[in-house]
Amino acid sequence: MKIRKGNRKDIPVLAKLIASLEPWAAYGVNYERAKYILTNMRDQIYVAEQEGKMVGFITLRGYGMGEFGAYIRMLAVKEAYKRQGIGKALMNYACKVLKPYGRNVFCVCNVKNQAACAFVESYGFLRVGIMEDLYQKGYDEALYRKTIP
């Protein structure tokens, strides 16, 4: 598995993956919306590949939380490649890239997204608190923080 910087050519493939996944589909993020988000976000994108095919990606922003630290906005692994360490490898890569931006990395997971919450907690993120109705009424999001050693 190889991790490389993403570029505009990756956007259609990444948008297809985003639109197929529950956390975003629940917010009405379809293929067109996903393409719009990826095209307009200021975050860096990193893509995990196996045999030349995208199997997952992560997006991050150095000062995404201002002086408090960095923000990881999106992370996803294709269904068939889950539980093979790809999410962890993308996180490891992200934390290395983000180290110069300060000691804290933050991310947000929907509290009902048990896989994502279990994943970030297994990676050492601590839940700061719950932000009720953050994007939409009825959708509570957990804010997580990890201090990079």
48 binds ligand COA (CB under 6 A): no
| DSSP characters over 67-131 | GG-EEEEEEEE-GGGTTSSHHHHHHHHHHHHHGGG-SEEEEEEETT-HHHHHHHHHTT-EEEEEE
Q: How far is the CB of 51 from ligand COA (least distance, A)?
A: 17
113 binds ligand COA (CB under 6 A): yes
Between 8 and 83, name the residue whose CB sits nearer to ligand COA: 83
Maximum Cα interatomic distance, the chain, rounded to a whole number of Å: 42
**With contacts defined by CB under 6 A, how many residues of the chain interact with ligand COA?**
19
CB-based contacts of 82, cutoff 8 Å, min separation 6: 115
Q: How far is the CB of 123 from ligand COA (least distance, A)?
A: 7
x/- map, 68-97, ligand COA, by CB under 6 A: -------xxx----xxxxxxx---------
60 binds ligand COA (CB under 6 A): no
116 binds ligand COA (CB under 6 A): yes
Q: Is 114 exposed, middle or buried (0-12, 13-18, 19+ CB in 10 A)?
A: exposed
Binding site for ligand COA (CB under 6 A): 21, 23, 75-77, 82-88, 109, 113, 115-116, 118-119, 122
